[in-house]
Every structure is written in C-alpha cells, then in structure tokens.
C-alpha cells in the first residue's frame, strides 16, 4: 500500500492503493510525499474508497488548493455523488466518484487553457493518461455543450464522446444540487444562484433556455432512479 502524507486542505491523510500507473506518476508530479507501507491491514483507510477515487480526490485537492470555494464545492459534489451512487450500476460507481472529484479541475490556473473549464479539465486529464470516459464525463458535465456552442468551442468538445447514461446524469445532478461553497441546493436554487453570480449578460444566461431543460430532465431521471433504489432526492 502507498500512503500520501500531504493531504488536500481540510482532509486527513489520503490512503492510496497500489496503482502505480496513475498513483505514483501523479503524486510525484504534484510533489506529494509517498511512503510505501508493507502489507495492508489498517492502511486500507478510513473508508473502503477505491484507490482510483483517492487519486482523483488527491489530484483535485492539489490543483484546487488555491481555490478554497471551488474545493469546498468539489467536496460537496463528491458527497452528493456518493449519496446518489445507488442510481448507477455498482460497476460504475467508482467512475462516478472519480468524475465527481475531477469535474471542476479546469478552474485551476495550472489547468486553464481556453478558459472553458469542462474542456480544459478534460484536456488536462487526457494529457495525463486518464481514461477517455473520465475525460468525456468531465468535458460534458452539467450540459457543457450548450455553453461550448456559445464559446465556439463545440468542435473542441466534440473530441470527447457525450454519453447519456445514469453516470452522466448522476454527475450533473450532483453538480447542479451543490452550491458554490459546497452547500446542498435544489436545482431551482442552483440555477437562480448561477444566473445571479454570472450576470444577465453572461454566456450562461444567454444559453440558459437551452441548458435548463437538459438539467431538469437529468434531475427528473435521477429522482426517479433514487425512488426506485429507495433513496430520496434533496
Ligand atoms: Fe461544479
């Protein structure tokens, strides 16, 4: 097992499993101290979180360390994704949580290229060897394609397959029910907050009439899946 002794702000030590292809490369690149512990046992961590999820959390924590609100939001999105993980196939839950931790890394100054955070985050992840499906979920989260069109970045976003699945729905739902400081919100509250924060002349406001039905459709589908799985929407 490998443990990271330098953790993201507000987090205890992060335990990472033996995933040399992603773990070692990432943690060393970001200057995190890595200690090899013989055997397993208690080093398995406070929860049975997969090593990939822990790597994603660590990478996001490092990249967003100078953006405390964005990091708080990310923690909230990951928490909500975990809460609604029962709406996706068990084999896809790890993917959902990985994407939830990574979905907003495009806001990091170390990642920013075009200024359109879903695309920048996806391109960064692709350059660093993350699976295409993770990159694509980040690229298209929360109806990014509607905003990309207004930025003339639609073709760049098209490099990433846009999946419509329970996983993509759960990711968008988690993002659209978590406020900018990580507080739980309804979709209505989140949209009103977003429009007020971005302003009436923003690209987001201009495409809202197209993006809103998409987000509401996602929320409806997730709500239905939650009802079937015994969970409750917020
Ligand atoms: Fe977000």
In a shared domain, residues 46 and 103: no
Task: Encode 169-205: b = buried (16+ Cβ within 10 Å), e = exposed.
Answer: bbbbbbbbbbbeebeebebeebbeebeeeeeeeeebe
Domain endpoint, select from 18, 43, 63:
63
Query: Distance between the two ends of the chain, CA-based, in angstroms?
Result: 37
d(CA 57, ligand 1 centre) in Å = 14
Last residue of a domain, one of 63, 79, 106: 63
Flag residues of the chain having pLDDT under 70: 1-50, 231-234
How many Å apart are CA 86 and CA 115, to the nearest integer?
33
The per-residue pLDDT for range 16-26, each reduced to its tens digit, is: 444 444 555 55
- Among 63, 82, 99, residue at a domain's last position: 63
Q: How far apart, in whole angstroms, are the C-alpha atoms of residue 103 and residue 44?
A: 25
46 with 90, same domain: the answer is no
Nearest C-alpha neighbor of 60 from the set 104, 24, 28, 110: 104
Residue 234 lies in a domain: no
Enter the DSSP assignment of 36. Answer: E
Query: Do 84 and 165 reside in the same domain of the chain?
Result: yes
Q: What is the pLDDT of residue 229?
A: 84
Cα–ligand 1 centroid distance for 224 (angstroms): 22
Does residue 12 sit within a domain? yes
Distance 193 CA to ligand 1 centre (A): 13
Asked if residue 82 and residue 184 are part of one domain, the reply reads yes
Report d(CA 116, CA 4) in Å as an integer.
Answer: 31
Distance (angstroms) between ligand 1 centre and the Cα of 16 equals 24
Predicted pLDDT of residue 8: 44
pLDDT of residue 5: 41
Q: Which parts of the chain are beta strand (E)? A: 2-4, 14-16, 34-36
Ligand 1 centroid to residue 154 C-alpha, Å: 19
Alpha carbons 5 and 12: distance in angstroms, whole number: 9
210 and 98 co-located in one domain: yes
Q: What is the pLDDT of residue 27?
A: 58
Q: Which position has the token pair 């999105």?
A: 77
Q: Supply the pLDDT for residue 116.
A: 96
Q: What is the residue range of 136's domain? A: 67-229
Instruction: Say what the pLDDT of residue 77 is.
Output: 98
Count of domains in the chain? 2
Same domain flag for 95 and 209: yes
Residues 133 and 219 in one domain: yes
Residue 98 shares a structural domain with residue 171 = yes
């Amino acid at each position: 097992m490998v443990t990271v002794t330098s953790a993201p702000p507000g987090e205890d030590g992060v335990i990472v499993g033996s995933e040399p292809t992603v773990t070692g490369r990432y943690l060393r690149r970001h200057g995190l101290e890595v200690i090899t512990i013989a055997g397993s046992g208690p080093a398995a961590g406070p929860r049975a979180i997969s090593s990939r999820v822990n790597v994603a959390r660590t990478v996001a924590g490092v990249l967003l360390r100078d953006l405390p609100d964005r990091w708080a939001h990310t923690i909230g999105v990951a928490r909500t994704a975990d809460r609604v993980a029962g709406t996706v196939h068990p084999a896809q839950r790890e993917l959902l949580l990985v994407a939830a931790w990574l979905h907003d890394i495009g806001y990091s100054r170390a990642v920013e290229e075009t200024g359109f955070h879903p695309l920048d985050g996806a391109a960064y992840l692709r350059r660093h060897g993350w699976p295409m499906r993770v990159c694509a979920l980040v690229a298209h989260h929360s109806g990014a394609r509607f905003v990309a069109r207004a930025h003339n970045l639609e073709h760049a976003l098209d490099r990433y397959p846009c999946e419509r699945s329970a996983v993509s729905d759960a990711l968008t739902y988690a993002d659209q029910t978590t406020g900018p400081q990580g507080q739980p919100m309804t979709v209505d509250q989140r949209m009103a907050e977003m429009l007020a924060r971005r302003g009436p002349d923003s690209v987001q406001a201009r495409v809202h009439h197209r993006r809103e039905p998409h987000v509401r459709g996602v929320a409806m589908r997730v709500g239905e899946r939650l009802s079937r799985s015994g969970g409750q929407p917020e």
